[in-house]
Structure 1
């Protein structure tokens, strides 16, 4: 019996699927040093396993998206989860760093299939319901990001770094059975026929051309990428600042990071509640992006002024996380709304652009870090958050209004 889309169980399933890529990052963080010791590699070189995984997460959805638009979401998710399981087992058995790097890249390719989760939401729900579902999925993702590092540390203590990968494989198997028995096909196959349903390269290219030339979708993709880059910058910069400059212990820093994850959940929950009360998504998104840029800009100004108490910086990061949770459900919903027939490709394009821009932002924070202040983190966060707000106010609002006007005119003519 398939799980009903309106049920809480369906939301939980989508949340666990969407969290697979994040669990593949966070649960392995405590084991980098132990993995390097076992394979005769330095922790910095083992850190490349994270890069290999994230690179796959950025690129693979570009293939999964168009395929899922044509053959359906469920086969793509099942294929990816099966690949994730096999690659996780291969990671657990790896005897050298080069082999582990290859297996991690393949593991990332498998995990990337779950990016179709947001396309599934777009398939099944209207704008208001979809916004609430995306918010719930974001809450589930952040629950995983809070739990995963501690779970990884516990598994490392009990059975070593290989047990972490074995447990990832076991979780993948459970999800395969959950998808097989509980998830129905959501893609509207009848909406695309003939040439549109071909998997030829030209058809896939045409899909992405439609996305990058669509005045609404492309702007929201860029806004989401800029806002996401702000978060990537704080994830990288916060550890450099609080551990490297302030001198906090990893456990103490973990409490700050957990507070930020909890703030994202609170923002997403608040957005879902506002949606149920009829608050327009554009209003919530505006507030979220203003709060995001205000908190990041305040951090930059106070850092330049030489006043940046750790507690104050932590409070600003929590405000950034709250704003991100408030904004992202609306951004994802607005990105996919104009092109429902290729929602998989739209979701893939948005994810790819966000991960790529986030990696650039993280790299800039690390390269510009002066070892004494939070300036590199604050500067990149302020720049990306202000860019997100400017793009939204200058282009996204106007494009959305023109699109709504055309729909209203078409309805009146009909």
Structure 2
């Protein structure tokens, strides 16, 4: 019936009710679970809502970066200790999705994102009012736990869209996220100049509140939730089996590994670039900011290109193969030129831009491929994927920092090359063979 199209009078003639049509269209056992979207999923407004939702964690990171030193001065804390505000935020982003994933599969995406954004709003306000570093750390952890709920954004897309449409929507979300990473550090610096570090958290509170209102008034449930047999689906044993299913599924687990390695490549750049360009090459912070923004814009360009390719029905397999190969090649050239001492600034920036474009091209396809075999637990897949990618990013960031020699890009280039090669090898040797063998959920 999927390809069957009949005029409205034909449906009336065979006496199929609107409720029955919704059951056929959405594949749900409970018609009451399907509510019309107040903001139409195909509209630009809905894409913007998803983009803003997915951007919440990154606004919580990037806007706060310029204020670390000022926060330490105001609270009488050492700068190194204030850095823990980022650590606890990242920790919450890595762990909280493991709770949100199965909850969203059981009760739906809407209550999860509404609760999470509300928690982000409360946490942001508490951060703005904090009077000591320990209190700020607790508030930042709560803020991060709220922001982590937005990892179900890609599960929402998987609920509502298929194939190239899902790929295009995910590409749009990637564009929005990287737009935030371009703007947020500059916005944080401007807010710091206008007021104090508390103003940054106040603006996060206002932005979160506006997003919460949009969710409450415009977003309806997207998940296909049934009631039968789900009364104990949040029992620890059930959750554990769900995550084990994700981690042992040949296709999903392979693409989660590919995504973690690709994300590790980017996080190695994010950490190492500031160390190298400012400390090693002596660039001013504003000069480094231009390079950082240029690379974030390159990720956006890659995602935009992927969206255009999806509209033209280019094979995601070919796009993914090409992008992972470009990333590995550019990273390898970066390492080689660093080792032989040919690393000029224009060459380094060009290679980093190539890696960024490749990441923008690949990430939507990776996420879509990981979720496709297990649509019934898309929230769990999204949670595992986001958590593992965040952990991989933390590991690669730590490696780059620990191995940094104080002058060269060697640690950054080595970790980027290792991760990009791991991503390509995982795709070629694990993911593609699993797909060819025809594994199902």
TM-score exceeds 0.5 = yes
**1:403 partner SS:** coil
| 2:409 equivalent in structure 1 | 374
Matched, 1:101 2:145: no
Q: Note the C-alpha offset of 1:315.
A: 1.0
| 1:25 equivalent in structure 2 | 61
Distance of 2:193 and 2:336 partners within structure 1:
43
Matched, 1:79 2:121: no
Relative to structure 1, the CA distance from residue 197 to residue 120 in structure 2 (aligned partners, 3 Å threshold; closer, same or farther) is farther
Is the CA contact (8 Å cut-off) linking 2:106 and 2:230 kept in structure 1?
Answer: no
Q: Note the C-alpha offset of 1:150.
A: 1.1
Deviations 1:214-233 (A, max 9, x none): 00000000010001000000
Distance of 1:310 and 1:361 partners within structure 2:
23
Which of 167, 178, 196 aligns to 2:203? It is 167
Distance of 1:250 and 1:282 partners within structure 2:
39
Distance of 1:57 and 1:186 partners within structure 2:
23
Deviations 1:91-146 (A, max 9, x none): 11111111111110110000000111000000000021110000000000011111
Distance of 2:204 and 2:345 partners within structure 1:
35
Matched, 1:49 2:49: no
Return the index of the structure with the highest Cα Rg: 2
| 1:271 equivalent in structure 2 | 306
CA RMSD of aligned residues (A): 1.2
**2:438 partner SS:** helix
Matched, 1:386 2:426: no
Is the CA contact (8 Å cut-off) linking 1:87 and 1:103 kept in structure 2?
Answer: yes
Deviations 1:320-352 (A, max 9, x none): 100000000000000000000000000000000
| 1:412 equivalent in structure 2 | none
Q: Which runs of 5+ in 1 are unaligned?
A: 408-414
| 1:287 equivalent in structure 2 | 322
TM-score scaled to structure 2, two decimals?
0.90
Q: Note the C-alpha offset of 1:314.
A: 1.1
Distance of 2:237 and 2:401 partners within structure 1:
39
Q: Which runs of 5+ in 2 are unaligned?
A: 1-36
- How do residues 167-316 of structure 1 correspond to structure 2 at under 5 angstroms? 167-190=203-226, 193-195=228-230, 198-316=233-351
Distance of 1:108 and 1:316 partners within structure 2:
33
Distance of 2:112 and 2:278 partners within structure 1:
41
Is the CA contact (8 Å cut-off) linking 2:129 and 2:198 kept in structure 1?
Answer: yes
Is the CA contact (8 Å cut-off) linking 2:92 and 2:148 kept in structure 1?
Answer: yes
Which 4+ residue blocks in structure 1 deviate beyond 6 angstroms? none
Which of 115, 120, 128 aligns to 1:92? It is 128
**2:437 partner SS:** helix
Range moving further from structure 2, 146-155 or 55-64: 146-155
Q: Note the C-alpha offset of 1:196.
A: 7.2
| 1:139 equivalent in structure 2 | 175
Distance of 1:324 and 1:225 partners within structure 2:
12
Deviations 1:344-380 (A, max 9, x none): 0000000000010110001000000001210000000
| 1:120 equivalent in structure 2 | 156
| 1:411 equivalent in structure 2 | none
**1:194 partner SS:** coil
Matched, 1:129 2:165: yes
Q: Note the C-alpha offset of 1:193.
A: 3.0
Is the CA contact (8 Å cut-off) linking 1:229 and 1:361 kept in structure 2?
Answer: yes
**2:250 partner SS:** coil
